[in-house]
Amino acid sequence: MSIRLESGGRLIDRSKPLGFTFDTNPMQGYAGDTLASALLGSGQVLVNRSYKYHRPRGIVASGAEEPNALVGLGQGGRFEPDQRATTTELFDGLIAMSQNAWPSLGFDAMAVNGWFSSMMPAGFYYKTFLWPRSFWKHVYEPVIRDAAASGLPPKEPDADLYEHFYAFVDVLIVGGGIAGLQAALVAGRAGARVLLIEQTAHWGGRAPVDGVEIDGQPADVWIADTIAALQAMENVTLRARCMGAGLYDHGFALGYERLSDHTPGDGRPRHRLWKIRAGRIVTATGAIERPLSFAGNDVPGVMLASAVRDYVVNFGVAPGRRTVVVTNNDDAYRTALVLIDAGLEVPAIVDVRERSDGPLARECVRRGVRAETGAAVMKVKGGKQVAGVMLCRANGTGGAGALLECDCVAMSGGWSPVVHLWSHCGGKLLWSDEYAHFYPDPSRAPTGADGAPFVSTAGAASGCMASGEVLADAAEKGAAAVGAAYSGDLPQTNDIEELPMQPVWVMPTGALPELRAKMFLDFQNDVKVSDVQLAAQEGYESVELTKRYTTLGMANDQGKLSNINGLAVLSQSLGEAIPQVGTTTFRPPYQPISFGSIAGEARGGTFQPLRRTPMHDWHEAAGAYLEPVGHWKRPYCYPKPGESHAEAVAREVKATRASLGMLDASTLGKIVVKGPDAGRFLDMLYTNKMSTLKPGRCRYGLMCNENGFLMDDGVVARLDDDTFLCHTTSGGADHVHGHMEDWLQCEWWDWKVWTVNLTEQYGQIAIVGPNARKLMESLGGMDVSKEALPFMGWVEGELAGFPVRVYRISFSGELSYEIAVPAGQARALWDAVLADGAAFGITPYGTEALHVMRAEKGFIMIGDETDGTVIPQDLGLDWAISKKKDDYLGKRAQERSFMTRDDRWKLVGLETLDGSVLPDGIYAVGEGENANGQRNTIGRVTSTYHSPTLGKGIAMGLVAHGPERMGEVLKFAATDGAMIEARIVDPVFYDPDGEKQNV
């Protein structure tokens, strides 16, 4: 069982005990502990159950690579599943729950899965659960889904906040071990803007734990001095608890800073996502130790040798009292020495190599440790805790071996550089036979915008294993990042000679199937050596296929421990060299990052920018029901207490038609087009001729894209000889402006035309209804008589003391004035209109009343009558298409064969026989079915409303040969199969002669 040692622990403060609970059991740790070290310090070896077989699992590692120790952390709005205990800093009151066990971690009912594990090899689910067909959805899948995964979903919205930071640096250095520090020192001294980030709360990485001495002193001293030196440099920024999460094209990198995970609820944002643009990036991300594949390597108490050392040295925690070290390299002997120094037992070091007499081994022997060379672990004894190991010959088949009692196994299969960030953006790897690992190929680095490499690696991430090499490499890379060669002195280290490691992928090498079926590669996903071998046997030979077939490396740790071992087993099965088999692709993020941090501040009301008209506050205060229109929110209607939306719309329409209504039309696009060639330009842009428009007059225009389809419409006013004001739809303003600029800049760049989007510079108020002129007169200041301001005219002047431009245009069929006023004065004018309009019962109306009134008049609406497949000719708008022009955008497209067919669906009005409202989007059916068995259709409804004015349903639609079929009754198919009959009528339902608007 694991224990807290009486002394030691360089990272903990024994004067600051912290209380926490695990599965509701109160436990204690110290400031500086991780949750993992505190659990081990409290004797909690069993921390989880595996994914598939629910095998008991303990802590394996001490950092980001931990596959097992995932817990549910916190409660309520601060609950988070799958929190990695090894990277969770302990705080007072921390609440952690184990995840994958029921009823309890110690007794897990689902552990019965383990009995049937031989029935559940890799990919078994592809071969069964086939019959009966309905059982997959109703029986098998629900059971599998409930059994799968471990973390619980949060129940409440997140109680925390997140933020984004932007950083622009010359050099980003990822990793604050001695390599990162050294690289930062060199780059910082050269004057570069340097950002150095480190994922843990501590600087210096492994060096202090590994007993490294630099310049004759313990590494801690050099680390502290270097930090002090870096902090003194203004051009260098240091961030601990900030992980390099991902590398992207052109020097973009993500930093994930865990600001207050260890101080929850202190008012700071929880996470901060750094969006970094770096000229050069140095990844000093270290290396990760590999497990060994022996039977029972997943029993709680089997740990990485380096992690065992970490817990003893950093936290004063002994993972076990009696630890057997199993290794294929010299580095693990350091663990034995650390354990002995801490007064713990090391009954044996099991070394697969026939020869092991390096300095570290000799020191162990001198300290009385038995070294078994050419030996292997045949299997681990124990269930919820290691009880011992059976030993055997390394190159045998297993056989009966001697039992060695112990409560902890420290394993080391060698080290793999952390190449994730290097690989994210295309960096390639080389295979080292010496260390049996992949390391970055400097000649195939990720390249940036200039085609030159922008990422390099430093230290262990480069594949340097001795600290002297690490520091030299880091100095060189730090200098190279600022375009220099390193020429200074290098710190001196106490590197101890190590004998070559000997790769061993299966232990013992000739292990029989029953042993291979208990050798775990991916601990969380329960992928064993036998599974990878089965995948190869069945033809899933590519490493990507093996991964997908077995789920190797697809768990929360994304294969940090399992990838190399897995592909080595695969390559052996295929009889190919490891480099030929290759690796799976490394993808961001390095470790999982919270969705909250990715979203940042943009949540709730600030989720997207909100565009507000000058009258927005008034609408809200008036209780308007708002609808999103692009980034605007527009009043849909203004319901009175107790009134439904439909009732409000009807009231607004009736009041407007009877007397007076007003509309906030500010969102309408307003683009000024100016210059000697403005008329010529608009002639190309609109289907009709704008150059002939007289100053003082307005004209309705249609705009198509080059593919011929109707894109936008609106009223164009000619302000003077070379100035036009183009109104666009609310949603289309930015797009239309971009469209104009595209043609001006990229096609007709010699034309003298300038455009400005003035949409937000003006508020616009429509005054609509038979009493509109009376209200205008009451507001006073300008002549709004029919003579002075005729229909489709505009004037500039002063209205009620406001500088305005008034357009006599109508989208409702009523007498109507649209008043543009500088945005800053729009609300005041709105209030003035309301006040004077009270005498006429003025009624503000919303977008729905607007739509109803335009439909009553048979006016088309972009987005309703058009959908990107409709050309103006379909809508009977031929009158707005100039026949005199040689060219306009879309003209050539409209000449294509499908566009000129005479059976295109064309605009008509529709009325049900019983006066009811046709459903939205309903289709008119023809005879029979098409070749695919679909009912033939001959038309569809594009707009449909209840007309309060006419007291019946009215609709517009597109119908094959529609205009030639006036009076015909069509059948429309409701979704329930019922047929609704409607008659083809003229689309102008109200005031067909335009008498109301032209008074």
Partner 1 sequence: MLILTCPYCGIHCDETELANGGEAHLKREGPGSSDDAFEAYLFDRDNPMGVHFERWRHANGCGKWFLAARDTVTMEVFGTYKAQSIEPPAEIVERIRAKRPDWEGRA
Partner 2 sequence: MRRYSAFAIAREALRHHTGWERAWRSPEPKKHYKVIVIGAGGHGLATAYYLGKNFGIRDVAVLDKGWLGGGNTGRNTTIIRSNYLQDPSAAIYEKARSLYETFSQDLNYNAMFSPRGVLMLAQTHHEVRGYQRTAHANALQEVETEWVGPERVKEIVPIINIDGPRYPVLGGLWQARGGTARHDAIAWGYARACSGMGMDIIQQCAVTGVRSEGGQVTGVVTTRGDIACDKLAIVVAGHSGHLADMAGFRLPIESAPLQALVSEPIKPCIDCVVMANTVHGYMSQSDKGELVIGGGTDSYNGFTQRGSFNHIEETVRALIETFPIISRLKMLRQWGGIVDMTGDRSPILSKTPLGNCFINCGWGTGGFKAIPGSGWAMAELVANGEPGPLAADFGLDRFREGRFIDESVAAGVAH
Measured from the Cβ of residue 594, the count of other Cβ atoms closer than 10 Å reads: 17
Instruction: Give the DSSP per-residue string, 982-995.
Output: EEEE-S--S-TT-T
CB-based burial of residue 436 (10 Å sphere; 0-12 exposed, 13-18 middle, 19+ buried)? buried
Which residues in the 360-399 window bind partner 2 by CB under 8 A? none
Q: Quick check: 920 binds partner 2 (CB under 8 A)?
A: yes
621 binds, among partner 1, partner 2, none (CB under 5 to 8 A by kind): none
Measured from the Cβ of residue 458, the count of other Cβ atoms closer than 10 Å reads: 34
Give the CA dihedral 893, 894, 896, 898, nearest 10 degrees.
Answer: 120
Paired residues of 899 in beta bridges: none
The only residue of 1, 430, 598, 834 in contact with partner 2, by rule CB under 8 A: 598
Burial 397-429 (b: 16+ CB within 10 A, else e): ebeebeebebbbbbbbbbbbbbbbbbbbbebeb
Q: Quick check: 748 binds partner 2 (CB under 8 A)?
A: no
Q: Quick check: 575 binds partner 2 (CB under 8 A)?
A: no
What are the tokens at 355?
């020869």
The only residue of 5, 95, 110, 121 in contact with partner 2, by rule CB under 8 A: 121
The only residue of 738, 841, 921, 992 in contact with partner 2, by rule CB under 8 A: 921
Q: How far is 855 from 857, CA to CA, in rounded Å?
A: 5
Kindly report the backbone phi and psi dihedral angles of residue 462, in degrees, each rounded to the nearest multiple of 5, phi listed first: -85, -10
If the CB atoms of residues 283 and 329 are measured against partner 1, the closer one turns out to be 283
Which residues in the 762-791 window bind partner 2 by CB under 8 A? none
The only residue of 53, 636, 807, 990 in contact with partner 2, by rule CB under 8 A: 636
988 binds, among partner 2, partner 1, none (CB under 5 to 8 A by kind): none
Sign of the C-alpha dihedral, residues 649, 654, 657, 660?
Answer: negative
Kindly report the backbone phi and psi dihedral angles of residue 5, in degrees, each rounded to the nearest multiple of 5, phi listed first: -75, 160
Assess whether the previous peptide bond of 508 is cis (omega < 30° from 0): yes
706 binds, among partner 1, partner 2, none (CB under 5 to 8 A by kind): partner 1
Count Cα atoms within 13 angstroms, Cβ side, for 705: 15
596 binds, among partner 2, partner 1, none (CB under 5 to 8 A by kind): partner 2
926 binds, among partner 2, partner 1, none (CB under 5 to 8 A by kind): none
Query: Which residues, other chains included, contact 688 with Cβ-Cβ below 8 Å and sequence gap of 6+?
Result: 699, 701, 702, 880, 881, 882
751 binds, among partner 1, partner 2, none (CB under 5 to 8 A by kind): none
Please answer whether residues 713 and 854 qualify as being in contact, where contact means their C-beta atoms are separated by less than 8 angstroms. Answer: no
864 binds, among partner 2, partner 1, none (CB under 5 to 8 A by kind): partner 2
Q: Quick check: 916 binds partner 2 (CB under 8 A)?
A: no
Burial 604-625 (b: 16+ CB within 10 A, else e): eeeeeeebbbbbbebbeeeebb
What are the tokens at 483?
């375009």
Beta strands in 772-919 (DSSP E): 794-799, 802-807, 816-822, 843-844, 905-912
Q: How far is 114 from 700, CA to CA, in rounded Å?
A: 76
The only residue of 2, 327, 551, 583 in contact with partner 2, by rule CB under 8 A: 551
Q: Quick check: 48 binds partner 2 (CB under 8 A)?
A: no
If the CB atoms of residues 158 and 760 are measured against partner 2, the closer one turns out to be 158
If the CB atoms of residues 1 and 925 are measured against partner 2, the closer one turns out to be 925
The only residue of 919, 961, 968, 971 in contact with partner 2, by rule CB under 8 A: 919
Q: How far is 638 from 652, CA to CA, in rounded Å?
A: 8
Q: Quick check: 934 binds partner 2 (CB under 8 A)?
A: yes
What is the closest distance, in whole angstroms, from the C-beta atom of residue 954 to partner 1 in the complex? 37
The only residue of 103, 451, 488, 604 in contact with partner 2, by rule CB under 8 A: 604
Please answer whether residues 492 and 216 qualify as being in contact, where contact means their C-beta atoms are separated by less than 8 angstroms. Answer: yes
Q: Quick check: 864 binds partner 2 (CB under 8 A)?
A: yes
CB-based burial of residue 934 (10 Å sphere; 0-12 exposed, 13-18 middle, 19+ buried)? exposed
Strand, helix or coil at 797? Answer: strand
Q: Quick check: 287 binds partner 2 (CB under 8 A)?
A: no
Interaction pattern, residues 693-722, with partner 2; x per rule: CB under 8 A: --------------xx--------------
742 binds, among partner 1, partner 2, none (CB under 5 to 8 A by kind): partner 1
What is the closest distance, in whole angstroms, from the C-beta atom of residue 429 to partner 2 in the complex? 17
If the CB atoms of residues 887 and 902 are measured against partner 1, the closer one turns out to be 887
The only residue of 592, 696, 781, 876 in contact with partner 2, by rule CB under 8 A: 592
Count residues binding partner 2 (CB under 8 A). Answer: 117
Q: How far is 692 from 694, CA to CA, in rounded Å?
A: 6
The only residue of 1, 19, 82, 385 in contact with partner 2, by rule CB under 8 A: 82
16 binds, among partner 2, partner 1, none (CB under 5 to 8 A by kind): none
What are the tokens at 667?
């969102």
The only residue of 556, 688, 771, 997 in contact with partner 2, by rule CB under 8 A: 556
Which residues in the 126-145 window bind partner 2 by CB under 8 A? 126-131, 133, 136-137, 141, 144-145
Interaction pattern, residues 243-282, with partner 2; x per rule: CB under 8 A: ---x-xx--x-x--------------------x-------
Q: How far is 168 from 613, CA to CA, in rounded Å?
A: 36
Residues that bind partner 1 (CB under 8 A): 248-252, 277, 426, 447-451, 706-707, 738, 741-742, 745-747, 749, 886-887, 891-893, 895-896
Give the single-character DSSP code of 759: G
**Listed ranges 18-26, 315-323, 547-555, 732-740: which one lies at the site for partner 2 (CB under 8 A):** 547-555
891 binds, among partner 1, partner 2, none (CB under 5 to 8 A by kind): partner 1
If the CB atoms of residues 886 and 993 are measured against partner 1, the closer one turns out to be 886
Q: Quick check: 15 binds partner 2 (CB under 8 A)?
A: no
End-to-end Cα distance, the chain: 96
If the CB atoms of residues 262 and 275 are measured against partner 1, the closer one turns out to be 275
Q: Tell me the residue type at 491.
A: P
Q: Quick check: 922 binds partner 2 (CB under 8 A)?
A: yes
**Listed ranges 59-67, 86-94, 207-215, 624-632: which one lies at the site for partner 2 (CB under 8 A):** 624-632
What are the tokens at 717?
């006013």
